[in-house]
């Protein structure tokens, strides 16, 4: 399986990249983003672009892929709905449309979040926008399209977040991670579990298009 990975420098993306490189069923993984990951592996190719929403200059490098694992995401804190929509919905749709044209047989797996609002009418801004992005991806016409909605995510294997408050929260909570995982096994996943689940869904599909945290753990 040849895999395209967006958002490989974020916490979730780092975990997904690790699992791609470890998985013997993945022949090639190409990351796309505004910065390189710093990883070196025989299966890895990195495409660095100034603006992820515009892939016109690198389209020739985005052909021949079986799956896209889309892990790009930003916090809505301090953002207007218009700006968050631009970075969450509009960016995702722009990338997905390009990839669908170049790889009509592709499976697209989109990382959303627990609590996303598929009705697009709720009171919580980020949940509405995430739901709108989910619906766009699922209705675009990919050979396979899935949304994963992780809840709490424990970073493993030295993976860190680039967001300062997330790093601080993880540092404070790390001693209780084992207890949280034991008490809430269906609400707490790890970067390793999430990466493996996304790859398995990309390969084998799933019974429903939207996977909540318990589905991720089950997969």
Q: What is the CATH number of the domain that holds 13?
A: 3.40.50.720
Q: What is the pLDDT of residue 59?
A: 97
Q: What percent of the chain has pLDDT over 70?
A: 93
DSSP 112-172: --TT--TTS-SS-HHHHHHHHHHHHHHTS--SEEEEEE--EEE--TT---SSHHHHHHHHH
Q: Rounded to an integer, what is the distance from CA 106 to the centroid of its chain?
A: 15
Q: State yes or no: pLDDT of 24 exceeds 90.
A: yes
Q: State yes or no: pLDDT of 81 exceeds 90.
A: yes
Question: How many domains does the chain divide into?
Answer: 1
Quick one: DSSP state of residue 187? T
pTM for this entry: 0.92
Contact assessment for residue 116 and residue 149, using Cβ atoms and an 8 Å cutoff: yes
Q: What is the pLDDT of residue 158?
A: 80
3-state secondary structure of 31: strand
Confidence class for position 173, pLDDT limits 50, 70, 90: low
What domain range is 115 assigned to?
Answer: 2-218
Q: Which of 37-41, 106-110, 138-142, 172-176 has the lowest mean pLDDT?
A: 172-176
Q: Using one digit for the tens of pLDDT, what is the confidence trace for 30-73?
A: 999 999 999 999 999 999 999 999 999 999 999 999 999 999 98
- Mean pLDDT score of the chain: 93
Helix (H) or strand (E) holding 4: strand 2-6
Q: Which of the pair, 192 or 184, is modelled with greater confidence?
A: 192
């Amino acid at each position: 399986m040849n895999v395209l990975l967006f958002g490989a420098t974020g916490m979730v993306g780092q975990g997904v990249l690790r699992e791609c490189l470890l998985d013997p069923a993945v022949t090639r993984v190409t990351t796309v983003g505004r910065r390189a990951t710093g990883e070196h592996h025989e299966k890895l190719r990195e495409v660095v672009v100034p603006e992820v929403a515009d892939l016109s200059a690198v389209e020739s490098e985005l052909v021949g892929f079986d799956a896209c694992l889309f892990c790009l995401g930003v916090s809505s804190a301090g953002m207007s709905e218009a700006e968050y929509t631009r970075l969450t919905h509009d960016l995702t749709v722009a990338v997905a449309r390009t990839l669908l044209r170049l790889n009509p047989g592709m499976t697209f797996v989109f990382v959303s979040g627990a609590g996303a609002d598929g009705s697009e009418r709720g009171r919580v801004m980020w949940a509405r926008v995430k739901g709108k992005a989910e619906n766009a991806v699922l209705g675009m016409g990919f050979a396979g399209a899935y949304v994963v909605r992780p809840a709490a995510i424990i970073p493993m294997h030295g993976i860190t977040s680039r967001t300062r408050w997330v790093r601080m929260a993880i540092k404070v909570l790390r001693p209780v991670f084992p207890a949280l995982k034991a008490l809430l096994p269906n609400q707490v996943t790890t970067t390793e579990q999430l990466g493996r689940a996304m790859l398995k869904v990309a390969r084998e599909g799933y019974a429903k298009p939207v996977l909540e945290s318990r589905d991720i753990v089950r997969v």
